[in-house]
Amino acid sequence: MAGGMLQKKRGGRRSSCGLSSDINVTPLVDVMLVLLIIFMVTAPILTVGIPVDLPKMDAAQSEDSDEPIVVSINKDGQTYLKDTPLQIDQMIERMHEILKAKPNTKIFVRGDQTISYGQVMDLMSVIAGAGFNKVSLMAEIQKKKKA
């Protein structure tokens, strides 16, 4: 018969000369791996800034600076908001006022190294209870000793 028709093989089975309906994912995987390598190589390059010597200006500094607030606790357990000594209940009131004025204010916590870890955690829980979610601990950078 015609050449385009299916032919019978020995076991009575038919063979098809048509296309396979399976999806070949090998090219997709190859392309994805190449893209992954490209992004891994270029990502660090994109995060590094170009050093630029910016121009100087004599304009006054903006009053609306996002300067963080520093909360300190000394070796005697006295708490300070900036340079003002406050009791915990007074500090909570002041923090609520600050939070109403500037909701995204950052808080830096400074604690004397001789006080207990629990005292610092109590202070941080007071700060978190006041509604601040940007709280950081401060530490002094230690100078390397020469051998």
Q: What is the pLDDT of residues 21-41, one digit of tens each?
A: 888 889 999 999 999 999 888
Compute the distance between CA of residue 92 and CA of residue 25 in angstroms, rounded to an integer: 60
Whole-number pLDDT of residue 134: 81
Mean residue pLDDT of the chain comes to 75
Domains along the chain? 69-137 (3.30.420.270)
pLDDT bracket for residue 48 (50, 70, 90): very low
pLDDT bracket for residue 90 (50, 70, 90): confident
- Between 32 and 67, the more confident residue is 32
Angle at 139 between CA 136 and CA 142, to 5 degrees: 150
Whole-number pLDDT of residue 50: 44
Whole-number pLDDT of residue 30: 94
Task: Count the neighbouring beta carbons within 10 Å of the beta carbon of residue 123.
Answer: 22
Q: For residue 36, report the phi and psi dihedrals to the nearest 5 degrees.
A: -60, -45
* C-alpha to C-alpha distances, 32 to 13, 23, 43, 129, nearest whole angstrom: 40, 16, 16, 46
Q: Do residues 91 and 126 lie in contact, with contact meaning Cβ atoms separated by under 8 Å?
A: yes
In the chain, pLDDT over 70 holds for what percent of residues? 67
- pTM, entire model: 0.50
Q: Containing H/E element for 84?
A: strand 84-86
- Between 18 and 28, the more confident residue is 28
